[in-house]
Amino acid sequence: MCPRMELKTVKKKLDFCTHYSVRVYYEDTDAGGVVYYANYLKFVERARTEFLREIGIPHEDIKKKWSVEFVVRSSLIDYIKPAFLDDLLEVRTCCVEVRGASSTLKQEVLKEDTLIVDTTIKIACISMENSRAVKMPSDIRVAFDRIKIT
């Protein structure tokens, strides 16, 4: 599991995870009242967006400043326990690997501090001009390296 850390201490710490809360709404559930499996991908996507914002590289800045964007290259997801209507979930996002054109993120969905979904997502840096993989700009790489879990 990712270690807990207050976001205000990000600049002092080298290793941290971001935390994103999500409430389960009726639209997130199936006919049985259980969160529909694909909706966890939406939850972790939102958490990744906030992760980028919190480490100082929001999506819009990435696009405008460097003309690149991140796309999901691969995802591995393990559904451990269900979540239900009105549950309050927490998504923890940690960077575990940084490579030339990609980064691997560990994302955990928790309900009352119990792990219910475990994901590993690899995001790739692509050129907005031709949608091909490109080396991550150095400022982005530094941001990822600074917070990578070792």
15-147 adopts what CATH topology? Thiol Ester Dehydrase; Chain A (3.10.129)
In the residue annotation, 30 being an active-site residue is answered as yes
Give the CA distances from residue 20 to residues 99, 132, 141, 150, in Å, rounded to whole numbers and listed in that order.
Answer: 25, 30, 22, 22
For residue 49, the tally of other CB atoms under 10 A from its CB is 15
Cβ pair 144, 134 in contact under 8 A: no
Classify 34 as helix, strand or coil: strand
Classify 33 as helix, strand or coil: coil
Whether 17 shows a pLDDT value over 60: the answer reads yes
Cβ pair 126, 115 in contact under 8 A: no
Whether 4 shows a pLDDT value over 70: the answer reads no
pLDDT in tens, 34-62: 999 999 999 999 999 999 999 999 999 99
Residue 148 banded pLDDT, cuts 50, 70, 90: confident
Question: DSSP state, 147?
Answer: H
Domain boundaries, the chain: 15-147
| Both structure tokens of 46 | 């939102």
Which of 72, 129, 94, 105 has the alpha carbon at shortest distance from 19? 94
Euclidean distance between CA atoms 98 and 103, whole angstroms? 4
- pTM confidence score: 0.85
Catalytic residue among 30, 78, 86, 139: 30
Q: Residue 126 pairs with which residues in a beta bridge?
A: 69, 133
